[in-house]
Amino acid sequence: MILRTWAVKGVLAAGSWATLMLAGCESGTITGQEQTCGSSGGLFAVEEISCTGSVDGVRGSPHLTIVEADEELDGGYRLDAAITVARGTAKAHLTDADGEQVGGEVAPGRPLQITAVVEPVDEEEIDMELDVVGKEVRDLRYEAILVRQD
């Protein structure tokens, strides 16, 4: 079994803006994102990835990377994600393997749990679309586990 761990830290506002402009999506900013991911798998494929992260602030409608791999992901994966916020309200969703939007609303004291089968094709990450209700969300935290489905 191969075990890999890595960490990503940084402010993603400029990168999120550029990515969203290229994709033609609504704009938004994410500030103060920290993420730690670990993966395990065999010689030919990632079997499981787990990531935890936090974001200081979110405004607008950005995409947030909740799973990041160090190699391309192909096939079906079960995603279990939990999202909490300390202040503000946001709608959060992603697209499952059937092309359906799954997710809901997250607010203080009302965490959001998302469970879905996703099929990243030649991708190294899983993104969640956020839509802040009001001005800003503060202290967003998430845990995500991605397990290969055979």
* Cα angle, residue 23 at apex, residues 20 and 29 outer, rounded to 5°: 5
Delineate the domains of the chain, giving CATH numbers in brackets. 2-148 (2.60.120)
145 exposure class (CB count in 10 Å sphere: 0-12, 13-18, 19+): middle
For residue range 24-66, what is the model confidence (pLDDT) as tens digits?
345 899 999 999 999 887 656 668 899 999 999 999 999 999 9
Q: List the beta bridge partners of residue 7.
A: 36
Return the structure tokens found at 141: 């935290």
Tell me what pLDDT residue 98 has: 94
For residue range 75-117, what is the model confidence (pLDDT) as tens digits?
889 999 999 999 999 999 999 999 999 999 999 999 999 999 9
